[in-house]
Structure 1
Amino acid sequence: MTLALLWPGSALAATVTVQPGDTLTRLAVRHGTTEQALVQANPTLRTGALIAGARLNLPSAPPPHAWTVRRGDTLSLIARRQGTTLTALLAANPGLDPRRPLLVGQRLTLPSQRTITRQTSTPTVRAASIRVTPVLPVQGRVTTPFLERHPSVDLAAPVGTPVRAARPGVVTESRFDAQSGWGWTVVVDHGDGMLTRYSHNSENLAQVGARVEAGQVIARVGSTGNSTGPHLDYRVTVQGVPVDPLSLD
């Protein structure tokens, strides 16, 4: 593929050379744009087919936009409001740590539509669809919040209290984890890049391979493993990155 820079009038525009077998759809996906935008940038496409070796103008990317964080904002909430994805939002803000809370007044760069199109046109997860039910797996008191040295939330509750799945998914682990000190543990894969982990259980009720629904009882609170009292250690990772369960909505 050959890229060149032309000077059409006063704007600098990127061009691409059509390869054998290229279609408008393939070009749009490859360059993070749309078929309509390609036609608008190349009016001759309205009347003719693509010809190998021809050079097409790529649509110009729109200028970046910014968002000022307001009280109550979370990354997932901002992404949903702006019609983007959590993945694209993080990519547009390289120094942003999804494990840390946002600060009121903080400025975030919003991703361009080209970036969003490129990410959603490939077989990756749309992070904007990642949501956790507002109801916690256990209705208990938060004894340890999410911290860098403790990337989970501890919820104290009596032994035997039902532990419920936060979202629909498939159970990928249901075992006694002595190596990590988590005791009886259940892990649910939600199929969109998010995993939830429920540990220190007195009893696991969901078996590996089982499909569970949001709110379904999958275990019971206990104090197994490295634990100082009855509680649930509740962990969430998004594409392998630990995040605060209380920051997701």
Structure 2
Amino acid sequence: MRPTVFLTLALLWISPATAVTITVQRGDTLTRLAVRHGTTVSALIQANPQLERGTLLAGMSLTLPQAGSAQTWTVEPGDTLYNIARRQSTTIGALIAANPGLDARRALKVGQRLILPVRSAPASARSTPAVRTASIRVGALPVQGRLTTPFRTGHEGIDLAAPTGTPIRAARAGVVSESRFDARTGWGWTVVVDHGDGFKTRYSHNSANLVLKGARVDAGRVIARVGSTGNSTGPHLDFRLTFQGTAINPLSLD
């Protein structure tokens, strides 16, 4: 796993009147294209009648099936909820909502089929064909330390060892929802940042908190310093990421 996480969550709205085309690459097959773009072979053929009369060739332009009906994604080796959401221009939350019972804490299984959220254009996009994107980026992990405890059952975060006093930086912009000594859970001095889109990040065992509850912080701002307060065996950062209360492995997002 790389210690750097780039989290780009894109909302992509495309007018139904705007055709989306792709260019066939060498080695592509209809099955690979269908899986890659979250559709089916039959839907691709229906959207591209010429495929019934000839062979798929590199350089061909194909029209993707129009959004508006439920499609599925078959999980391939290495797939995570994040990279599926990124490829489909949706969000992890929308995937979870479209697949009741999907547990973001568990790894996806190869061959597992997911229902993709229906991508529908808002009223403003229907009146004026356009593509509108909004993206959020999460840069480097809060501390460039040594991974000592990975994400696992019973420890739904990652531990990054670093010298006492090492700056801890906010992974994303947001509002500080907690800044306190958490004796009940054993996390010691803790900061929680609410990012406003269902995501929260938690930074624990700090030697000092440098922000107060209610403060707005930018990505990369120093919000605390590494320590060993609470239930800890040495100086480190316990870093946790949740989406709507569900723990997610931060290192699975890249």
With normalisation by structure 1, the TM-score equals: 0.65
Shift of 1:154: 0.9
Picking from 209, 214, 223, the partner of 2:214 is: 209
Bigger relative CO (Cα 8 Å, ≥ 6 apart): 2
SS at match of 1:186: strand
Paired residues for 1:59-70 under 5 Å: 63-70=69-76
Shift of 1:129: 6.7
Closer/same/farther in 2, CA of residues 129 and 200 from structure 1, 3 Å limit: farther
Counterparts of 1:207 and 1:102 in 2: how far apart (Å)? 38
Per the alignment, do residues 132 and 241 of structure 1 end up closer, same or farther by CA in structure 2, a change over 3 Å counting?
A: farther
Alignment counterpart, residue 111 of structure 1, candidates 92, 96, 117: 117
Correspondences of 1:94-109 after superposition (within 5 Å): 94-109=100-115
Q: Distance in 1 between matches of 2:16 and 2:139?
A: 39
> C-alpha deviations, 1:50-109, integer Å up to 9, x for none?
xxxxxxxxxxx9553221223443212212321333222112222321011223433222
User: Does the CA-based 8 Å contact 1:132-1:166 persist in structure 2?
Assistant: no
SS of corresponding position for 1:185 = strand
Residue 171 of structure 1 pairs with residue 180 of structure 2: no
- Matches of residues 76-225 of structure 1 in structure 2 within 5 Å? 76-113=82-119, 133-225=138-230
Are the equivalent residues in 1 in contact too, given 2:105–2:247 (CA < 8 A)?
A: yes
Question: Does the 8 A contact of 1:204 with 1:220 survive in 2?
Answer: yes
Equivalent residue letter for 1:168: A
**1:206 Cα shift?**
1.5
CA contact (8 A) 1:130 1:192 kept: no
Cα root mean square deviation, aligned: 2.8
Asked if structure 1 preserves the Cα contact closer than 8 Å seen for 2:93 and 2:243, the reply is no
Say if 1:145 and 1:153, in contact at 8 Å, map to a contact too: yes
- Name structure 2 gaps, 5 residues minimum: 1-14, 18-66, 123-132
TM-score where L is the length of structure 2? 0.64
After superposition, what is the alpha-carbon deviation per residue over 1:192-211, rounded to whole angstroms, capped at 9, x for unaligned? 11111100001111122221
**Deviant stretches of 4+, over 4 Å:** 128-132
**Contact 2:179-2:191 at 8 Å conserved across structures:** yes
Kindly indicate whether the alpha-carbon contact (under 8 Å) linking 1:131 and 1:248 is maintained by their aligned counterparts in 2.
no
**1:43 aligned residue:** none
